[in-house]
Structure 1
């Protein structure tokens, strides 16, 4: 069945110097000729064309146009790009004219990328990388998205899947062709290779969810009792008045969040309600949310007031661990304030700070940046970027554990375990099928004799 030709504004909305409208599908090239009244320009070469509304003959724009005949295009279909002047009237006029051409319709969200996937121009991980690149706000997000768009994840997952399919081909041959001159105990013979691959995948999963933090933001939660200076510190670090500051206890009752670019890494800085026995249902709910955010945090800034030091309130001390920084605040209120080494919990670093005097904030920010940089340090293998990838890999590992249990007992079940593991990997890239497995069977065993 012939697919519709789709079109959409591919550049940002609003007035601009240039706006790009993209068309893709079997009537894309014909639509350009209808609008321009001229023959097509050479593929991938810009040409100047006057565009008119074919119904009324009204001029719409003088535009640079490019054509990308199938299959050498982003979607794998015939593609046309119209580089227009970016005024609202020009864009609206061209979109309305395209709407009136038979066989054309506005594209749905993500439909160009979906067609690229369907025509095997992108796999699912590359499509996700493209989406991440469009939404990247920091250098780390940009680099991670580019690496995924270049196929780093696809190559890793397809390598693992290809190895499993190779083993599965031998297992299937052992089951289906017992009279052939094949080695005995194929399941046992491939078991070491499969367990080694399983160990590799399990090791890959132990990544502290680094890439997901790069995509979604490294979560830094500010904790402490009421009036410990949480909101004041939040405003100082974010350089904006995002949180209300007051001496009244319980002022912050809900979670307040702001996004920052810290050394090229995306950070979500989160202010929370003061930790104490809440007064009233609303404050208690705020404290419950604060503790939930503390549990989910990648880093906790635990605040303690200088005038109460060295006592650390129990509500705050419970959050001091390897993923926390102790911050002693409001040091301007204590004359000649000094922290003794013995008063600091073992393994913790205490940073003194006064927002009023702008003292200690640079050291705190530097310490936080070092923590974030170390936590998000790149590794050799491409990073695991999505929850769905993680779930599919966990399913793969589970199937391979079941294979180990069945390898010496039931060759049919053992083969099914490997098949399901390969299928789980295939779900990540979107290349689920049996064709490549059959290719291995025929090339390795010359079955069709």
Structure 2
């Protein structure tokens, strides 16, 4: 059952961690009568957008001293009457206050994103602005923060609306052929039709290129670590985190499921994933873990392959032959005979891309291959060697890995990608629909009625992009991602 949109709602808008101050937001009430018994001042005497110090009461007993602000409708975040209570930020205190009010009034707890949903319904925000707010609140990178603010402030929305206006111009040019062809003349009609088509095509193509560069989830970029069991994946994972998060053992197959943690690199947050060792197995649980590992590797933004050159496995490399890696690390460099085993591995490499190898002295963190720091060596990427047991938090290897990850992320951002999935998918749908329309338009026997009908699909997709029409499941997905108090 959908929540009653006419019922007042309450939630903590500042998160649920311990803090000096937490903000409780109440929205949707018409009168102060229900709230007055809980406060030491008469709400009927206060003015909008002014702060007031008062005490919070439970049956006359003071339970907190707070700061109160009233935002009078319609000049509020969501167009409704809103009161914000700045209370002491112990989560127990926040919960006690919310339950005190919900248990003694008809004010209910808000659903995720319900304050913003009401803002959308009351036309205080557009769908794109809501998505920008979602991106701003959940961003894991400075770029995501900027694109979120761009949506929230309307800058990115303007480029979407420009696309819509170019669509309307082209649609109008077609309609002119139905109603005013004799007035404007066939020559001028064809000129207008061609000009508006080119302008619309150019706008769609530019956005389409930006959507193609969002093949990875750049909102929450993942860094996966792959390899055979006991190759050193978990050791590298723990080293990058500077913590024994993943179990390290001499027993092969210790990691049967993936283990993930967040890591902060150059103002961005990445999800680093230690995947299950890939090998042939009869254990059904391990098989599921291996399948999941392959799926994670395929979808990861940055892929690291860890190889123990003493354990060459042709079946493993056959399994991952279609995958490409950004970085390959040789582990166990402290074991005698490491250099000769690496050379043997190189000679036996039969992957789809033959990397350029450097046959010479291998220093502690030197590169094996014709590359420079931060660069790549074809799809197989650069090669490193490492003894994870002797690495410190600020080792050259760890810094180098961070530089590689950051370098790839920044290169992808050069294309100014559209990183909200709904937007990129909508743009791809627009592009596909427009390609179908272009075939009709470029046909020498094209009919205006057929053209107008075919163009409708493109217009429908554009309307979804800018939020003129919004399927319910899209709205549900957006607001479900919000925090309760937003």
Whether the TM-score (by the shorter chain) exceeds 0.5 is yes
Structure 1 residues 412 and 59, CA gap change in structure 2 (3 angstroms): farther
1:255 positional shift? 2.0
In structure 2, the residue matched to 1:399 is: 433
Distance 1:226 1:90 in 2: 47
Match of 1:295, SS? Answer: helix
Q: 1:45 aligns with which of 29, 47, 50?
A: 50
Partner of 1:219: 222
User: What are the Cα deviations for residues 279-330 of structure 1, in whole angstroms up to 9, with x where unaligned?
Assistant: 433333333333222222222222222546xx68562485597642121111
Give the deviation of 1:113 after TM superposition: 0.5
Separation in structure 2 between the aligned mates of residue 32 and residue 170 of structure 1, nearest angstrom? 58
CA shift at 1:137, angstroms?
A: 5.0
Report how far residue 111 of structure 1 moved: 0.8
Deviation for aligned residue 1:92: 2.5
Instruction: Verify: 1:199 aligned to 2:202, yes or no.
Output: no
Is 1:277 matched up with 2:280?
yes
Aligned residues: 425
What is the root-mean-square deviation of aligned Cα atoms in Å?
Answer: 3.4
Q: What is residue 101 of structure 2 aligned with on the other side? A: 97
1:165-176 to structure 2, matched below 5 A, reads: 165-176=168-179
Q: How far apart, CA to CA, are the structure 1 residues paired with 2:114 and 2:257?
A: 38
Change (3 A) 1:43 1:37: closer
Tell which deviates more after alignment, 356-365 or 43-52: 356-365
Whole-angstrom distance in 1 between the partners of 2:455 and 2:404: 40
Tell me which of 446, 450, 463 is aligned to 1:413. 450
Note the residue ranges of structure 2 that are not aligned, 5 or more in a row.
Answer: 344-356, 360-367, 371-376, 471-486
1:41-81: CA deviations, max 9, x gaps?
3322212234446xx55545443211222332211222221
Alignment of 1:190 onto 2:196: yes
- State the TM-score, normalized to the length of structure 1: 0.82
CA 1:236–1:92 in structure 2 vs 1: closer, same or farther (change >3 Å)?
same
Q: How does 1:361-380 map to 2 (within 5 A)?
A: 362-377=395-410, 379=413
The match for 2:331 is: 329
What is the match of residue 444 of structure 1? none
Q: Residue 258 of structure 1: SS of its match in structure 2? A: strand
Q: Specify whether residues 135 and 196 from structure 1 end up closer, same or farther in structure 2 by C-alpha distance, changes over 3 A only.
A: closer
Alignment partner for residue 265 of structure 1, among 265, 268, 275?
268
**Greater mean deviation of Cα atoms: 35-44 or 239-248:** 35-44
Structure 1: runs of 5 or more not aligned: 434-449
In the alignment, structure 1 residue 315 sits paired with structure 2 residue 352: no
Greater alpha carbon shift after TM alignment, 74-83 vs 88-97: 88-97
Secondary structure of 1:254's match? coil
Partners of 1:274 and 1:69 in 2: how far apart? 59
Change (3 A) 1:410 1:96: farther
1:175-200: per-residue Cα shift (whole Å, max 9, x none)? 34555446434544532222222322
Given that 2:306 and 2:330 are in contact with CA atoms closer than 8 Å, whether structure 1 keeps it comes out as yes
Contact 2:163 2:200 in 1 (8 A): no
**Where do 1:20-59 residues align within 5 Å?**
20-27=23-30, 35=39, 36-52=41-57, 56-59=59-62
CA contact (8 A) 2:230 2:277 kept: yes
- In the alignment, the residues of structure 1 paired with residue 81 and residue 440 of structure 2 have an alpha-carbon distance, to the nearest angstrom, of 50
Deviation at 1:359, TM superposition (A): 7.7
* More RCO (CA 8 Å, sep 6+): 2
Partners of 1:376 and 1:80 in 2: how far apart? 42
Question: Is 1:237 paired with 2:240?
Answer: yes
In 2, Cα distance between the equivalents of 1:374 and 1:230?
Answer: 22
Q: For residue 287 of structure 1, what is the aligned residue in structure 2?
A: 290
Preserved CA contact (<8 Å) 2:214 2:417: no
Q: Which residue matches 1:446?
A: none
Secondary structure of the structure 1 residue equivalent to 2:418: coil
Q: CA deviation at 1:17?
A: 3.0
> Residues 411 and 30 (structure 1 numbering): CA distance in 2 closer, same or farther, change over 3 Å?
farther
Q: Which runs of 4+ in 1 moved over 6 A?
A: none
Change in 2 beyond 3 A, CA 1:29/1:74:
farther
Deviation at 1:366, TM superposition (A): 2.9
